[in-house]
């Protein structure tokens, strides 16, 4: 049986609300030593992601007035925990991303469940763990 995303994903994610200021987002990223932050709406559903590049695009703007929703990357690639790892790898390669936001398996839900990093897959491959289709 093929391994599933839930085996390698990190449960939970560092999130900010879409009305958080860019300065607040930058502080969350620095304090938590993360390379991106998931942006959620009032229902705690993913609406986008902010990377260091997103923050750099805000350079010269008022960081205390510019909101996360103004700079987020709205085309966040998502996957469910029950998806096969092979599907996760294919998505990462096709979309040229290093991580996937894992959302709940419930139909119509975009609630954040966790994160799958490409590094997690590489680490599993290096440890010779079962990651084959």
**Under 8 Å between Cβ of 110 and 48:** no
Q: What is the CATH number of domain 5-126?
A: 3.10.580.10
Helix, strand, or coil (residue 69): helix
| H or E segment and range at residue 34 | none
Burial degree of 38 (CB within 10 A; 0-12, 13-18, 19+) = buried
Quote the pLDDT of residue 133.
Answer: 47
User: Is the pLDDT assigned to residue 11 strictly greater than 50?
Assistant: yes
Nearest Cα to Cα of residue 12 among 124, 103, 105: 103
Reported residue count of the chain is: 133
Q: Structural domain boundaries of the chain?
A: 5-126
- Exposed, middle or buried: residue 83 (CB in 10 Å: 0-12, 13-18, 19+)? buried
Of residues 37 and 2, more confidence is placed in 37
pLDDT of residue 9: 92
Q: Is 60 exceeded by the pLDDT of residue 130?
A: no
Cα 120 to Cα 118: distance, rounded to the nearest angstrom:
5
Q: How far is residue 72's CA from residue 70's CA, in Å, rounded to a whole number?
A: 6
Write out pLDDT tens, residues 17-54: 999 999 999 999 999 998 889 999 998 889 999 989 99
What is the per-residue pLDDT for 131? 52
Tell me the pLDDT tens digit for each residue of 59-110: 999 999 999 999 998 878 999 999 999 999 999 999 998 889 999 888 777 8
Q: CA-based angle 28:34:36, to the nearest 5?
A: 85
pLDDT at 16 over 90: yes
Query: What is the structure's pLDDT at 111?
Result: 87
Rg (CA), the chain: 15
Integer CA distances (angstroms), 87 to 48, 59, 65, 73, in order: 21, 36, 39, 22
């Amino acid at each position: 049986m093929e391994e599933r995303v839930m085996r390698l994903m990190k449960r939970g994610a560092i999130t900010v609300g879409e009305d958080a200021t860019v300065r607040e987002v930058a502080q969350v990223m620095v304090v938590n030593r993360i390379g991106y932050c998931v942006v959620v709406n009032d229902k705690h559903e993913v609406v986008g992601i902010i990377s260091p590049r997103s923050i750099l695009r805000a350079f010269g703007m008022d960081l205390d007035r510019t909101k996360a929703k103004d700079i987020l990357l709205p085309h966040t690639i998502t996957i469910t925990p029950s998806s096969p790892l092979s599907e996760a790898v294919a998505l990462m390669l096709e979309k040229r991303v290093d991580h996937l936001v894992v959302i709940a398996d419930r139909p119509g839900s975009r609630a954040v469940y966790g994160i799958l990093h490409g590094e997690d897959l590489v680490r599993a491959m290096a440890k010779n763990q079962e990651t084959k289709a």
